[in-house]
Structures are given as C-alpha cells and as structure tokens.
Amino acid sequence: MSRNSLTGNIRKNIQIGDEVSIVQKHHQRSGELTEGFVKRILTSSPSHPHGIKVMLDTGEVGRVKEVFPEED
C-alpha cells in the first residue's frame, strides 16, 4: 500500500467523497483496480473480508481495496 492508504475492509475507514481503488466483480480474477470517488457505501456491516462494496461517482460498483484519505 502507498500514499498513507487504509485497508478497504473496514467500513469506518470509508467516507462519501473519499478517493478509493476498487475491484469490480468482472475484474476479480485479474485483480484490475479502478480508482474513483465514493458516491454511496453499499455494505451495511462494519467490516467485510473481501472489502466494503461501494458505488463510485461514475456509477461503477466494486469492493474497496485501498482508501486514500484526505491529506491534512
């Protein structure tokens, strides 16, 4: 992980508007990551072993692998 990133499998690490990298369902085998900004958090449980599911502002849905919190 780089750039002071947080793990994506704990819900409290993720806020609306955060920059994240996700893996979409059809890219799980290749592990291809998509970066974007969180529009909605779709997982309601506090954690998930494969990553919290979110929708990006582009409409893409996937599980968060890394969270890049705002730099203070």
Domain membership of residue 1 (yes or no) is no
Mean of per-residue pLDDT scores for the chain: 91
Instruction: Answer yes or no: are the C-beta atoms of 23 and 63 closer than 8 Å.
Output: yes
Q: Is residue 43 part of a domain?
A: yes
Long-range interactions of 13-19: CB distance < 8 A, separation 24+: 13/67, 13/69, 14/38, 14/41, 14/52, 14/54, 14/64, 14/67, 15/69, 16/40, 16/41, 18/67, 18/68, 18/69, 18/70, 19/67, 19/68
Residue 27 lies in a domain: yes
Encode pLDDT of 36-51 as tens digits: 999 999 999 999 999 9
Structural domains in the chain (count): 1
- With respect to residue 22, please indicate whether it lies within any of the assigned structural domains: yes
Q: State which residues form the domain around 23.
A: 6-68
Write phi, then psi, for 33 (nearest 5 degrees). Answer: -100, 145
Do the domain assignments include residue 15? yes
pLDDT digits (tens, 9 = 90+) for 6-19: 889 999 999 999 99
pLDDT tens-digit series, residues 18-35: 999 999 999 999 999 999
| 2 pLDDT higher than 80 | no
